[in-house]
Amino acid sequence: MKYGRPLISLYLNGSGFISIVIIFVVRRFRRHPSYPPGPKGWPIIGNVLDVPVDYGWEAYREMGRKYDSDIVHLEAFGSHIVVLNSAKAAGDLLGKRSNIYSDRQVTVMAHELTGWHRAVGFIPYGDYWRTHRRLFNQHFRAAAIPQYHYKQIKAVRRLLRSLLDSPEDFLDQIRFTSSAVLLDIVFAFDIKPGDYRIELVERAMAVANLIVDGGTQLVDLIPSLKHLPAWLPGAGFKRTAAEWKVHVDGMFNTPFDEFKATMGDEKAQECFTALVLSRRGKHEEHNEEIDQIARNLAGTAFAAGSDTSVATLTIFIYALIQFPHAQAAAQAELDSVLGQRRLPEISDKDQLPHVTAIVLEVLRWRPAIPLGIPHRLTVDDEYNGYHIPAGSIVMGNAWAMLHDEAVYPDPEEFKPERYLNDDGSLRADMPYPAETFGHGRRICAGRHFAHDILWLAIAHILTVFKVERPLNDGGQEVTPEVEFTPRFISVPKPFKCRFTPRFSGAEALINISSIATQD
């Protein structure tokens, strides 16, 4: 596990070093309030060396265990980082006190240098954010999701066809499916495999993976470093950020500008972006603002939905080859309800609790965004006798919360049955793993859409395929042991598996359904 390396790799020029010394001297002789427990810092740099760069969710949980606290504190160059490792602490602060914990840190790297300020999840708390959230909720609240079910089902059934034809390319096919359904809903684009817009979102999200986790970029802890000339040794972060910004700009601008050029098409009139732009009026200044909001919302929906859906479906596939027993009960249930004669519909959900249990366990076992997007506290606060200063970066460690042994025994095991009663019905006393979608007023606004397409994809795959481990050269099954990526969005690194049709009519069922969903 790596700690603090990018934070100390940047050369500190004279003015930056003097600023740090001043901060240290002021803080050294000022009375310290009672912060939450955490590692003891060094003079001047504080806990810079303790801030984890990779797999931060595991490191922060271990800190909590070491200090016997569900809330830990670090300080780096005067910036405070507070990590919440329990659902109770997150609920108390990010939930019940969301009026003061819903802000975002405006960072140099994300907001000023790379263009991520346009993503709704990064917009600071206030009226501008509320406008974005209100418009997004109008189209993605729970009651609005049924209008998207047809397009979700169409995309999932095309995925089945692709898995049947080229199972070895399942990772690329999942990426295509996730991007295709969102480009259809957001822009009314009908894309083919290999579409260049998929690469746009992948490159932009690769940037997010490197810069979002709190405290991993030194320029965010010492903003004055942004004034260094790009040519100066040690200021290479500015040149890198300029390259990253090209990718982020491409994701926000290219699909949106292409859509505006086709707005006269009848099909385009009912998509999400067209409905937001329909709020345009006679005043040019108002229209410019609506255009920018629509651009922000469309780019956010495309980016966040594509990448997290890919991660969660990939985690589902990986879970099945690590714990192959998990699919048998759900497949027996599917056969009982569907009779191996048709594919599932969203209306079948109440009759398929084992499928729902798998969905819940996928969300719990490996949350795609383990640390979420950091919150920012706007005023000084007190919690359980601890002082949390205004401006603190506050992170909800979803991974630690969803691996709490008191709530989820054997948390490292993939056990969908933990959500089921002995009679196979869903347990009412088990919490929904909402932490995987964030907390409080900043909880993911697209979570209802994400849950339904995940349920449909899992139900369809389990209906027609048995997901199996790959074979070695001797024809024997082997269990892939792969690492998960260590940053913002955590997903298994590429691995192999097999998709085997479960019954004699499975292929015919896939063929018929894929034809029926063609427009």
Among the listed residues 80, 403, 387, 367, the one whose alpha carbon sits nearest the alpha carbon of residue 214: 80
CA-to-CA separations, 512 to 285, 318, 353, in angstroms, rounded: 51, 28, 26
Instruction: Write out the binding residues for heme.
Output: 444
CA distance 293 to 136: 10
- One-letter identity of residue 1: M
Q: What is the count of structural domains for the chain?
A: 1
CA distance 158 to 513: 8
CA distance 74 to 64: 12
Whether the model pTM is above 0.95: no
Instruction: Write out the binding residues.
Output: 444
CA distance 48 to 76: 5
How far is the first Cα of the chain from the last one, in angstroms, to the nearest whole number? 49
pLDDT in tens, the chain (519 residues): 554 443 333 334 444 444 544 544 444 444 467 999 999 999 989 999 999 989 999 999 999 999 999 999 999 999 999 999 999 999 999 999 999 999 999 999 999 999 999 999 999 999 999 999 999 999 999 999 999 999 999 999 999 999 999 999 999 999 999 999 999 999 999 999 999 999 999 999 999 999 987 566 888 888 899 999 988 888 899 999 999 999 999 999 999 999 999 887 777 788 999 999 998 877 778 889 999 999 999 999 999 888 899 999 999 999 999 999 999 999 999 999 999 999 999 999 999 999 999 999 999 999 999 999 999 999 999 999 999 999 999 999 999 999 999 999 999 999 999 999 999 999 999 999 999 999 999 999 999 999 999 999 999 999 999 999 999 999 999 999 899 999 999 999 999 999 999 999 999 999 988 765 665
For CA atoms 354, 400, 170, 456, the dihedral sign is positive
Q: What is the CATH number for 157?
A: 1.10.630.10
**Residue spans of beta strands (DSSP E) within 313-426:** 375-376, 381-383, 386-388, 393-396
CA distance 241 to 423: 55
Q: Which domain holds residue 126?
A: 5-516
Strands 498-501 and 465-468: antiparallel
Q: For residue 420, give the 3-state DSSP assignment.
A: strand
CA-to-CA separations, 494 to 110, 188, 224, 250, 474, in angstroms, rounded: 27, 30, 39, 26, 22
- Please list the residues that pair with 458 across neighbouring strands: none
Please count the CA atoms within 13 angstroms of the CA of 95 that sit on its side-chain side. Answer: 14
